[in-house]
Chain A
Amino acid sequence: MSSGFLKRLGALVVQVLVVWGIATYFKQSLPAYPIGILTVFCINAILALSWNLVAGFTGQFSMGHAGFMAIGAYTSALLMMKAGWPFLPSLIAGGTLSGFAGFLIGFPSLRLVGDYLSVVTLGFQYIITAILNNTVKLTGGGLGLAGVPFKSTLPVTAVILVITMWLITNLVHSKHGRSFVSVKEDEIAARSVGIDTTTYKIMAFVISSFFAGIGGALIGHYMMYLHPDIFNYQKTVEVISMVILGGIGSLTGSIAGAFGITLLPEVFRNLATLFGSWGLAAAGAFVKKGWTVFYAIMFLLIMLTRPQGLIGRKELTWESIGKIRLFKKLQKKEV
């Protein structure tokens, strides 16, 4: 035990306590609508971080993230509902089983490169959907699973996000994290310096799907209802777009991207109401109905004009915020 380690652990505890305090205060003082948005943001940020680890850092473009989320969601929900487990063990079991699925999928991925891996992982998601649809007795199949206990309160999800961020940040800034990146950068070079790329790929898959499982479980405990179609291709794309928006390979970018994508439908919804209140009913209805098209167009525009995302590979720190041109101008004026 070194003092450095204890200091860092202490900092984490302080962060957790502060976030818990703020979230509890919000929960008591804010209306349900913004609390809901903030909770969904926290879950989305966990999902974005987990996908970024495997795709952004290790370069393994998984398209089966929704499948891992489904495994976590159903495991945690069923353990609580049918086996009477408490919340925390169920949640961790959900993540663990999802991580195990990641191990199984990571295995064939050893021999696949680039686009093939994406397609196989996407196929994996369809297989999970097929399994869920055909285990009616256990999961309710296509009828859905109602009565999942509500556990994803804002304080719970916010604290899990803080811990997730801490663990993944630590991991990225270690020899394991550097080895992940080396796989993405140049596999042949990585092997030539003794990095067992196969092991690291599987490792990235397992960790990423663990957190995807946690995120999926939190979705179930937030919506109080599960259905195989919640975890479809579109859900994976949603998570991908958060990371793209923020910047592939940037952890703070993932969080910013998750915030943006969570807020997007709400912005359009409010815009629609606003148009409606101005008497522009047609425009309001258009925005309300058509916002998903804008979303897709935004996705394409980012890829065409700024594929590195808003932040790129860098991390957002207080220092770097100070360096943003706008703030610099403000500072100059003050001087």
Chain B
Amino acid sequence: MSFFNVENLTIKFGGLTAVDRVNLHVDEGEIVGLIGPNGAGKTTVFNLITGVYMPDTGSITFKGTNLVNMKPNQIAERGIVRTFQNIRLFKGLTVYDNIRTAGHLRIPYSFVHSLLHTGLYERREKECRENADKLLGMVGLLDRKDEISASLPYGMQRRVEIARALALKPSLLLLDEPAAGMNPQECVELIDFIRKVKNEFSTTILIIEHHMDVIMNICERMYVLNFGKLLTEGTPSEIQNDPKVIEAYLGEEQEDVED
């Protein structure tokens, strides 16, 4: 029984098969990359894994349980947590409240305790605050915790989103283009940061990324998607020299020129 397994995953939107019979697996403790040209279906795979979309066929198993038909919140509860390509923070809330909101699953107390602010409430909230402080310290945003999250610069919002995901103590973290919009210096920092996350939280990571230097640096293995289909899989050096991959990316670039 493997840690995380996707078999024969397929979804169609109208006439378009966005994800076509995709198989992939992630072992515990790995950092695995998912790459491919624009529109290859990478984010759709994430949406399928996290229950935002229901697959037409296929299975998604995590630690032996089938995730298909589960609601997104149930999947998050089981330890698969994601970030979003275009960042979905609770924009009107402070950085601190973003993290505390996400920590809600890991601080068990019932409604009555909320209503009466009992001793249990107090202890659990204290844990929650300490945990939020710790996470914010780790992403280096402790000094900005009381700012409204939407007012932060883009790069910091990304870090808040990752910290928010970590508040759930995930066993599998899905990162959707964490380096988007970052300059080379920030990319180097991000690589260190992701390694640190993996070590400190002993979490497994599946990552979608366009920045090749980022993905080649941190991934042990990677999958390449093209037009919804799995093109190939392998180690970074294997992928870099695979003519099929080069063709897929070159094709895209030519299209870009025509546009």
Interface residues of chain A, those whose CB is within 8 Å of chain B, are 1-2, 4-5, 8-9, 167, 170-171, 173-179, 181-182, 185-186, 188-197, 203, 313
Looking across the interface, which residue of chain A has its beta carbon closest to that of B103? A175
Is A167 within 8 A of B115, CB to CB? yes
- Those 6 A-B pairs whose CB atoms lie nearest each other, nearest first: A2-B119, A174-B114, A194-B76, A185-B90, A191-B72, A189-B88
Interface residues of chain B, those whose CB is within 8 Å of chain A, are 50, 52, 71-73, 76-77, 81-82, 84, 88-93, 97, 100-105, 107, 109, 111, 113-119, 121-125, 128, 164-165, 167-168
Chain A residue contacts of B103, Cβ below 8 A:
175
User: Of A170, A179, A188, A190, which one neighbours B117 at CB under 8 angstroms?
Assistant: A170
Given A170-B117, A176-B114, are A195 and B104 also a contact pair (CB < 8 Å)?
Answer: yes
Is B109 within 8 A of A175, CB to CB? yes
Q: Is the interface of A mostly helix, strand, loop or mixed?
A: helix
Chain A residue contacts of B91, Cβ below 8 A:
185-186
Chain B residue contacts of A2, Cβ below 8 A:
118-119, 122-123
Chain B residue contacts of A191, Cβ below 8 A:
71-73, 76
Is A194 within 8 A of B109, CB to CB? no
A170 to B115, CA, bound (A): 5
Is A194 within 8 A of B104, CB to CB? yes
Is B104 within 8 A of A189, CB to CB? no
User: Of B81, B100, B111, B116, which one neighbours A176 at CB under 8 angstroms?
Assistant: B111
Looking across the interface, which residue of chain A has its beta carbon closest to that of B92? A185
Closest chain-B Cβ to A170's Cβ sits at a distance in Å of 5
Closest chain-B Cβ to A319's Cβ sits at a distance in Å of 15
Given A193-B101, A193-B167, are A171 and B115 also a contact pair (CB < 8 Å)?
Answer: yes
Is A188 within 8 A of B88, CB to CB? yes
8 A-B contacts (beta carbon < 8 Å): A4-B122, A171-B114, A178-B100, A181-B101, A186-B88, A189-B84, A189-B89, A196-B73
A296 to B146, CA, bound (A): 37
Looking across the interface, which residue of chain B has its beta carbon closest to that of A196? B73
Looking across the interface, which residue of chain A has its beta carbon closest to that of B79? A194
User: Of B92, B102, B118, which one neighbours A5 at CB under 8 angstroms?
Assistant: B118
Closest chain-A Cβ to B121's Cβ sits at a distance in Å of 7
13 extra interface residue pairs, beta carbon distance < 8 Å, beyond A189-B89, A196-B73: A5-B118, A8-B117, A167-B115, A174-B121, A175-B104, A175-B114, A178-B104, A181-B93, A188-B72, A193-B81, A193-B165, A193-B167, A194-B77
Is A1 within 8 A of B116, CB to CB? no
Is B73 within 8 A of A195, CB to CB? yes
A170 to B121, CA, bound (A): 10
